[in-house]
Structure 1
Amino acid sequence: MVLPVIAGVDGSAESLAAAQWAAREALRRDRPLQLFHAWNWHPRQEDGEEAMAARRHLARRSLREAEDHIRRTCPDVRLTPDVQVEGPATAALVKAGEETDLLVLGSRGLSGFTGFLVGSVAQGVVARAARPVVLVRAGEEAADEHLPDRDGNASTRTPYRDVVLGVDVGNPCDEVIEFAFEEARLRGARLHVVHAWQQPSAVALGPGDLGLIDASERAGEWLGYLTAVLRVWRDKYPEVEVTETVTEGRPQSVLVRAASGASLLVVGRRVAERSAGPRTGPVTHAAIHHVGCPVAVVPHV
């Protein structure tokens, strides 16, 4: 069974950008695209047959608008029958994510999420989804994935911008690394792999620890570890050009800076049960709130 790429739509500018990005991604993956709409029901909402009909009308209008937009901008994509369901929206989207190759949602970044992606709903989806989720900002267009032409103008005929991958050398994850290599391969793009490291504090040093190692020497060690982690993936994807960067600093800040000018940022989310419930983690949280390019969040064990 060929799983589709699913785009959550609600009529907002963010969801239209997400649907358009999802259509391009579906073509790259040779997958069909499915448009999905969910709405939350609240106790204070008017109930009854008339209210339900109104909600269904708004859902159909959002779906038709997204479909018309995609057929104009990406006519070659294969569209499967769309889906509309009544919420809770988080649960509906998480369930949809179990039956998809990739789930794509719209995002407003720091100002939160719009439509059925209100506040904690979007973060809940990212924190709970079993498959990768991509968040796309409003205004994202096909040319934004590509380098400008010789005159500095936007173009879709130029090479793709880098795919950026954040890697924790101390705990690398195959699912996240493979996802990033595959995305770079699909685009014919360069993969820029980033690792952030921090000097241990004097308090953290124990007896016999070397606390006076030169920063450049320590950076060289981290680069060696990163190169070793990526060796098997370079062999598996020989056609993908890879650059490696190790930078001293907080991982959140380093990754946000590295993603500037990228076509896609790939980060991981550990699927570990916590007493406080699912979380995105500080690096992923910073990425989905502060990075301007599309962000792919890949769950892993």
Structure 2
Amino acid sequence: MNAANGAAVVVGVDGSEPALRAVRLAAGEAARWGRTLRVVHGFIWPLLRVPLGPVPDAPPGAGLREQAERLVAQAVEHAESTVPGLRVTGEIIDGEASAVLVGESPTAALIVLGDRGLGGFAALVVGSVAVQVAAYADCPVLVARGAEGTDGPVVVGVDGSAPARAAVEFAADEAATRGVALRAVHAYRHPGSAGPGDMQPLVYDEGRLRGEEERVLAGSLAGLGERWPTVRVERVLTRARAAAALAEASRAAQLLVVGGRGHGEFTGLVLGSVSHAVLHRADCPVAVVRAPA
């Protein structure tokens, strides 16, 4: 995350406990990068033509707009108490939460949000807002999941794709700023087909396959030593499903970084199957980084 421009870290809030976890996470990110933290609440009620003032005989301040103002003020106060001296602003923006946060993304350094909010269905592990924002935002998206901690490395999933390279660079920035190792995980299963309609080979050389995958991993990390000389890079090559390998790696990590889509994803997917699965299974905060257009 380049600290050169004045873009803010933006955090979405809705009064839920996951949103407060996101505020704490966002406050830490803003402090590390010397950025302003911008607290945003998507206020959907005007779109639904719901009266915004208090109902008759209700106490003062009971209207929907007043409630929204209070939750934003509380989130700002929470951020300021988490990181004293942090520059924090708050704003209520009319609109649905996903649309509001995606709308903020072109000028934001980072979008941070909780894994679920007040409107989430109980059966969902990750709410629809988190998935939609991760899929469509024009900047990296950080989802508050799992334990809040500062132990362990920054873990990044790599597969040789452009989104994975963008994820590696974001993860290296984070590792350098946090003063921890960068652990690059590349998972593979079997040889892929060369094109549509090709059959998988029935017999292949395991040693040769592993050598090819080692080259993919090495290529994904090329040039890191020159740009981030202080970051110790750990390479992990494992034969497993990518989502499972990354979920396992997240148990010992303080941050997991994945690309929005990688090799082998269906072209119709906006958010790749691996990143989607990791959002649901990780035991630490997850950053989803889409490759620049």
Which residue is 2:45 aligned to? 41
Instruction: Mark the CA change 1:21 to 1:121 in structure 2 (over 3 Å): closer, same or farther.
Output: closer
Structure 2 residue ranges without an equivalent (≥5): 56-60, 122-126
* TM-score normalised according to structure 2 size: 0.83
Q: Does 1:187 align with 2:178?
A: yes
Give the aligned residue type for 2:102. Answer: V
Seen in structure 2, the aligned counterparts of structure 1 residues 288 and 5 have a Cα distance that, compared at 3 Å, is: same
Asked if the contact 1:197/1:247 (under 8 Å) is kept, the reply is: yes
- Corresponding residue number in structure 2 for 1:295: 286
Aligned residue for 1:90, secondary structure, equals: helix
The 8 Å contact of residues 101 and 131 in structure 1, kept in 2 or not, is answered as yes
Counterparts of 1:169-184 in structure 2 under 5 Å?
169=160, 173-184=164-175
Relative to structure 2, which stretch is displaced further, 169-178 or 68-77? Answer: 169-178
Q: Secondary structure at the match of 2:260?
A: strand
Counterpart contact for 2:52–2:63, Cα < 8 Å: no
Partners of 2:92 and 2:236 in 1: CA distance: 43
Secondary structure at the aligned position of 1:98 is classed as helix
- Letter matched to residue 237 of structure 1: W
Summarize the Cα distance change of 1:31–1:171 in structure 2 as closer, same or farther, 3 Å threshold: closer
Once residues 138 and 235 of structure 2 are traced to their aligned partners in structure 1, the CA distance between those partners, rounded to angstroms, is 28
- CA–CA distance in structure 1, aligned partners of residues 222 and 52 of structure 2: 60
Percent identity over the alignment is 35
* Structure 2 residue aligned with 1:128: 136
Provide the TM-score with structure 1 as the length reference.
0.81
**Counterpart for residue 223 of structure 1:** 214
Q: Structure 1 residues 169, 233: CA separation in 2 closer, same or farther (over 3 Å shift)?
A: same
Q: What one-letter code is carried by the residue in structure 2 that aligns with 1:88?
A: E
Aligned residue for 1:145, secondary structure, equals coil
Correspondence for 2:203? 211
Residue of structure 2 equivalent to 1:15: 19
Instruction: State the match for 1:69 in structure 2.
Output: 78
Distance in 2 of aligned mates of 1:40 and 1:240: 43
Q: Deviations over 1:141-171 (max 9, x none)?
A: 4xx122xxxxxxxxxxxxxx20000011366
Relative to structure 1, is the Cα distance of residues 116 and 4 closer, same or farther in structure 2, using a 3 angstrom cutoff? farther
- Against the structure 1 CA distance between its residues 98 and 213, is the aligned structure 2 distance closer, same or farther, given a 3 Å change threshold? same
The residue that corresponds to 1:154 in the other structure is: none
How far is 1:137 from its partner? 2.9
Contact map agreement 2:47 2:95 (CA 8 A) in 1: no
Q: Offset at 1:45?
A: 6.8
The aligned residue for residue 280 of structure 1 is 271
After TM superposition, give the deviation of residue 217 of structure 1 in Å: 4.6
Structure 1 alignment gaps of length 5 or more:
108-112, 147-160
Query: Which residue matches 1:145?
Result: 150
* CA RMSD in angstroms, aligned pairs only: 2.8
- Find the aligned partners of 1:48 and 1:232 in 2 and give their Cα distance: 55
Q: How far off is 1:117 after superposition?
A: 6.5
Displacement of 1:66 in angstroms is 1.5
Q: 1:201 to 1:25 in 2, by over 3 A?
A: closer
Shift in alpha-carbon separation, 1:263–1:48, aligned structure 2, 3 A: closer
Secondary structure at the aligned position of 1:192 is classed as strand
